[in-house]
A and B are shown apart, each in its own frame.
Chain A
Amino acid sequence: GQQLNQSPQSMFIQEGEDVSMNCTSSSIFNTWLWYKQDPGEGPVLLIALYKAGELTSNGRLTAQFGITRKDSFLNISASIPSDVGIYFCAGQLSYGNEKLTFGTGTRLTIIP
Chain B
Amino acid sequence: NAGVMQNPRHLVRRRGQEARLRCSPMKGHSHVYWYRQLPEEGLKFMVYLQKENIIDESGMPKERFSAEFPKEGPSILRIQQVVRGDSAAYFCASSPSGSSEQFFGPGTRLTVL
Contacts and interface: CB of A to CB of B under 8 A. Distances in A.
A100 B104 contact: no
Contact of A31 (B35, B42, B100, B106): B100
Interface residues of B, number: 28
Interface string B32-47: 0101000001111100
A72 to B, nearest CB: 13
Contacts of B91: 42-43
Nearest to A97: B31
B16 interface: no
A99 B101 contact: no
A101 to B, nearest CB: 7
Given A48-B100, A92-B100, A101 B107 contact: no
B103 A50 contact: no
Interface in A78-112: 88, 90, 92, 95-105
Interface in A26-43: 31, 33, 35, 40-43
A99 B33 contact: yes
B40 to A, nearest CB: 8
A41 B101 contact: no
Given A97-B31, A98-B48, A99-B33, A43 B43 contact: yes
A67 interface: no
B42 A105 contact: yes
B98 interface: yes
Contacts of B93: 42, 100
Contacts of B55: 97
Interface string B93-112: 10101111111111100000
B61 interface: no
A99 B43 contact: no
Given A42-B91, A88-B43, A100 B106 contact: no
10 contacts: A42-B104, A48-B100, A96-B99, A97-B31, A97-B95, A97-B97, A100-B35, A101-B45, A103-B42, A104-B41
